[in-house]
Amino acid sequence: MLDNEAYSSPTPAAGKGQSAERALRSAIVHCVLAPGERLSEVALAREFALGRGAVRAALARLQASGFVSSSARSGWSVTPVSAGEIRELSAARRHLEPMLCSAVLDEHDRARLRGLAEMHVALTQREELGGNVLPTIRRCERDMLDTLAARLSMPVVAGWLTDLWDRSIRLVNFFEGNGPARLTPANRSRLVEALLDGRKSDALDHLSAANTVLETFLLDRFLESEAIVGSRTARRRSVRKDVARRSPDLDEATNGMRTHDDTKN
């Protein structure tokens, strides 16, 4: 199930503004609004059944989070995919994710993480990762990371991490939607085990290695598909119908970390 809270902005919002931001963020993360696509406030308000003021406020917050950009000449547009963004996200994650090792966990948190780790192991041991298996693993991974971020007692940092994870999976979704290569999961169960056992060094090593694999995957896919990056202008499906259909099952949008090429199966 899609946890809409995982896609909320770290910038406080309320009411319709928060709903608008969540809807637009989810559409961008899942490439319903494609990289480089020009955005019309009027069209978005109509398609999402939102007020134009709420859409404008949501776009401003998403701009601060790096999902969209604006200019006086061309207006709003979804941030295009670039090698620079890939490197920026990797560098930021390397800087911030080690803070997850400082999360203060109570017994409920520890039990939840153990349960997620056990589920992760069971899923990753399957011979095939097709169908809903890989999306479920990714949701499980994201739940682990979200649980740790929520226990940092640093809401601003947790918000930054949310943006970094969402922006990263946007890139994964884009490249997976344009080629056969797939990102298989990092072994996040090892991260959980290391943290619960107090092995901070092992946890840090896992985070570093996982980020290296992700960065390599994204840069390789960028080089392979550079001709289409930022130029995709395919007509969007009705957002109200598409997002409504996708929302219950969009938990797939989470951090996987290793390359799995379906063509090799």
Q: What is the residue type of 187?
A: N
Integer distance in angstroms from the first to the last C-alpha of the chain?
27
Q: Is residue 211 part of a domain?
A: yes
Around Cβ 234, how many Cβ atoms within 10 Å? 8
Model confidence at 72, pLDDT cuts 50, 70, 90, reads: confident
218 plus 89 within the same structural domain: yes
Same domain, 133 and 222: yes
Residue 235 lies in a domain: yes
Distances (CA, A) of 81 to 117, 121, 164, 190, 202: 32, 32, 14, 31, 32
- Say what the pLDDT of residue 132 is: 83
User: Based on the domain organization, do 239 and 191 belong to the same domain?
Assistant: no
Q: CATH code at 151?
A: 1.20.120.530
Q: What pLDDT is attached to residue 39?
A: 96
CA dist 230 and 73 (Å) reads 18
pLDDT score at 130: 74
Is the per-residue pLDDT at 163 higher than 80?
yes
- Whether residue 184 has pLDDT greater than 60: yes
Count of the separate structural domains present in the chain: 2
Q: Report if pTM > 0.85.
A: no
> What rounded mean pLDDT belongs to the chain?
83
pLDDT tens-digit readout, 19-33: 899 999 999 999 999
Percent of the chain residues topping a pLDDT of 70: 78
Q: Domain check: are 48 and 118 in the same one? A: no
Task: Give the structural domain span for 128.
Answer: 83-226
Q: At what angle do helices 188-196 and 200-224 cross, to 10 degrees?
A: 160
pLDDT recorded at residue 226: 66
Neighbouring C-beta atoms of residue 91, cutoff 10 Å: 12
The predicted structure's pLDDT at residue 16: 64
| Longest CA pairwise span in the chain (Å) | 55
43, 77 in Cβ contact below 8 A?
no
Q: Residue 138: which of 29, 230, 39, 223 has the closest Cα? A: 29
Do 130 and 178 belong together in one domain?
yes
Q: What are phi and psi of 70, to 5 degrees?
A: -145, 155
Q: By the 8 A CB rule, do 37 and 19 touch? A: no
